[in-house]
Chains A and B, each alone.
Chain A
Amino acid sequence: MSFTSMGEAHRRIADFLNRFSEAVSTQDGASLKSLLSVSSNSSLLLSLADDLNLYQDWSRLVKQAERNSHTLGEILVPHLRCVQSYRSGRFVEAYAAFEKSANAFLQEFRNWETAWAVEAMHVVAHEIRILAELADKELASLGKNPEKLQGAGSFLMKVFGSLAGKGPKRVGALYVTCQLFKAYFKLGTVHLCRSVIRSIETAKFFDFEEFPSSDKVTYMYYTGRLEVYNENFVAADQKLTYALMHCNSRHEANLRMILKYLIPVKLSIGILPKMSLLDKFHLTEYTNIVKALKQGDLRLLRRALQEHEDQFLRTGVYLVLEKLELQVYQRLVKKIYIFQKQKDPSKAHQIKLDVIVKALKWLEIDMDVDEVECMMAILIYKNLMKGYFAHKSKVVVLSKQEPFPKLNGKPVSS
């Protein structure tokens, strides 16, 4: 460990302050970025923190440097306090300081007309979220109410507001939107994103194609997930497929995240993925579900749902997968129909409810005739089967033409 003298610490702090004001006056966004990313644990900021701890009177240095610009001081003093607190692991303090700094930065940012500082603003947006999450963890561990991420969300909304307009800064809006998504998804208050989504999608200022590709992929991923939670499968398919198509093929972790949601959507519209895809991306939790759909194996579906119940609930796809039962029933009845067709084609379209009861018993599923009748009524009602059920004869009579309509990319009718 090298011994740092007060003088050296003093010099390095002054150095940092100079770099900061240089970056602003020369409109050097790239340099400014690196000075702001507190959570990156860069050696620059870590050693700066040590220097600040050593040279306790550093705020005086900031005031001296302020002869260039008074407002930079409003940004720098809390920023340095944040760097210091972060280093010591005092995240609630770090967040409070950063929030102050960020607000001051935003005020300045609004005055800069060109887009030179957009990337730096992005770093601020990213950092405030990360620091808020750390602060909330600290608060929760102390038995206090974790409300910093909520505050960060409000700040991000303000940032979004500063980017929504006709000026050149607007291409930065989608990145901030994604930070908002990440924050609100974590908080579980996703409905707060609605106004932002509307802004982006009504194209008053924004041309979606202008945004950077990676932001577009992230955006479609999150909005796609929202559609999954709201069970709008056609929209979900559209958005998640976009994300999949435009995602860098080398980012396997991201592809996997997209597929995690896209697969249940595809299953809901009658499209089954290849087993090789599931294997390649380690999405084996879906393997038995796909098998169950292929084979009409109700028992396998239920087992798979039970086995991965917690995981599916965490991801938020459990309710979607549950609904697949109807398609499994359809497949089961179809298999019986095909079997009967082989034995006696002229009578194949009439299936005794007792036969279905037996088939289910063979799958260790206990269903009485009334329930089977109920399920047949539903399958017909939802157009998964064409025909009718005859109560007295205890038989389901299938249409001679296309008795089991395929979904063909459309979800089961409600």
Chain B
Amino acid sequence: MISSEHPFEIIHDFVFDRTRSIRQDLSIQNIIDEHAIEMYEKMVEFHIISHLKLAKSHRDPDNSSLHYLNMEQLTKCLLSLYEIYDLNRSPEFIIKKENEFHSFYVLLHLGRKNSIMKESLSLWFRHLSSQILLSREMRFARTLLSYFRMGNYKRFFAILAMEASQLQLRLIEPFLNEVRVQALSCINHSGYKLQPYPLELLAELLMIKEHELESLCCECGLQIITDELGCKLLPAKQSNFHHPKSDLESYSLTTPVKFHR
């Protein structure tokens, strides 16, 4: 799948179609054992990797719908996978990746809701076993989501650095700019006009390269000033602030820290 010969979108399309037919086959033939689990887990991984790659290749405007469709498929796969987990539950059969794969559904709520997510997250939680809900991976996802909902950008990025697994991070990455834009909005609204915010510090807090933060500010209509020492600063109370006009432009920004688990 990671071949550089063909543009990713074409590969994605091909595999996307294949995974969709596999899912249909599995469901028609009612195959629900460990092999089904393995296949679904692989499909979910594919969609997560696509999710990140599609987010990054922002030049083609068609990609936003591809990206959205991919998220829908990812959600569908996850929900089917959870049903199969439930059907295979027994004391002898330990499902290894269950906790992590459940956490993905929570993390998807960092983005905008898609049409497959028909129920609220609170309702979804009600039907999960305590064992899953209180697992490390789920706790991480729930905590991250709560920082997101509260707007606590400081902790959001800090915990991300410390606890996200590879797959979790790939899933979260396309949503990071939304969090950063929120932080900018907040600081711009609540800051003191005469004491602008040092960009370097902000970049550190938001885990982004300084020059990329500058671009992001630009996309939000925010101006950056430079002081006598050459340090870049973000003045507050700028009236031109707006959310970036197009989703896609923001995705070129990435986190500078590499996480391994």
Contact among B118, B133, B153, B192 with A374 in the assembled complex (CB-CB below 8 Å): B153
Residues on B with C-beta less than 8 A from A191 are: 118-119
Residues on A with C-beta less than 8 A from B130 are: 310, 313
Residues on B with C-beta less than 8 A from A230 are: 120
Residues on A with C-beta less than 8 A from B183 are: 374
Binding-face segment, B3-11, B20-28, B144-152, B165-173: B144-152
A378 & B150 in contact (Cβ 8 Å cutoff): yes
A314 & B126 in contact (Cβ 8 Å cutoff): yes
Say whether B259 faces chain A, with CB atoms less than 8 Å apart: no
Say whether B244 faces chain A, with CB atoms less than 8 Å apart: no
Contact among B120, B127, B192, B205 with A229 in the assembled complex (CB-CB below 8 Å): B120
Shortest C-beta distance, B80 to chain A (Å), equals 13
Residues on B with C-beta less than 8 A from A314 are: 126
- Which residue from chain A places its CB closest to the CB of B133 in the assembled complex? A313
Complex interface bits, B19-61 against A, C-beta within 8 A gives 1, otherwise 0: 0000000000000000000000000000000000000000000
The secondary structure that dominates the B interface is: helix
- Which residue from chain A places its CB closest to the CB of B185 in the assembled complex? A381
Shortest C-beta distance, B207 to chain A (Å), equals 13
Say whether A158 faces chain B, with CB atoms less than 8 Å apart: no
Say whether B218 faces chain A, with CB atoms less than 8 Å apart: no
- Determine the distance from Cα of A316 to Cα of B133 in the docked complex, in whole angstroms: 13
Say whether A390 faces chain B, with CB atoms less than 8 Å apart: yes
B122 & A317 in contact (Cβ 8 Å cutoff): yes
Which residues of chain A (209-259) have a CB below 8 Å from chain B?
228-231
Contact among B118, B133, B189 with A380 in the assembled complex (CB-CB below 8 Å): B189
Residues on A with C-beta less than 8 A from B194 are: 390
Say whether B197 faces chain A, with CB atoms less than 8 Å apart: yes
Complex interface bits, B190-203 against A, C-beta within 8 A gives 1, otherwise 0: 11101111100100
Say whether B186 faces chain A, with CB atoms less than 8 Å apart: yes
Say whether B155 faces chain A, with CB atoms less than 8 Å apart: yes
What's the tally of chain A residues with a CB closer than 8 Å to chain B? 41
Say whether B224 faces chain A, with CB atoms less than 8 Å apart: no
- Which residue from chain A places its CB closest to the CB of B158 in the assembled complex? A371
Residues on A with C-beta less than 8 A from B201 are: 370
A381 & B195 in contact (Cβ 8 Å cutoff): no
Complex interface bits, A310-330 against B, C-beta within 8 A gives 1, otherwise 0: 100111111110110110000
B122 & A371 in contact (Cβ 8 Å cutoff): no
Complex interface bits, A380-414 against B, C-beta within 8 A gives 1, otherwise 0: 11100000111111000100000000000000000
Contact among B122, B152, B196 with A320 in the assembled complex (CB-CB below 8 Å): B122
Residues on B with C-beta less than 8 A from A370 are: 154, 201, 205
Say whether B15 faces chain A, with CB atoms less than 8 Å apart: no
- Determine the distance from Cα of A309 to Cα of B128 in the docked complex, in whole angstroms: 13
Contact among B90, B122, B151, B236 with A316 in the assembled complex (CB-CB below 8 Å): B122
Contact among B121, B133, B152 with A371 in the assembled complex (CB-CB below 8 Å): B152
Say whether A44 faces chain B, with CB atoms less than 8 Å apart: no
A188-B123 contact given A326-B150, A380-B190, A390-B192, CB 8 Å threshold: yes
Residues on B with C-beta less than 8 A from A56 are: none
- Determine the distance from Cα of A323 to Cα of B151 in the docked complex, in whole angstroms: 11
- Which residue from chain B places its CB closest to the CB of A378 in the assembled complex? B151
A145-B87 contact given A191-B119, A316-B122, A319-B121, CB 8 Å threshold: yes
Residues of B in contact with A (beta carbons under 8 Å apart): 87, 90, 118-128, 130, 133-134, 146, 149-155, 183, 185-187, 189-192, 194-198, 201, 205, 236
> 29 A-B Cβ contacts within 8 A?
A188-B119, A188-B127, A190-B119, A229-B119, A309-B134, A310-B134, A313-B128, A315-B126, A319-B122, A319-B146, A322-B146, A323-B150, A370-B154, A370-B201, A371-B155, A374-B154, A374-B205, A377-B191, A378-B151, A378-B186, A380-B190, A381-B185, A381-B189, A381-B190, A390-B192, A391-B191, A391-B197, A392-B195, A397-B192
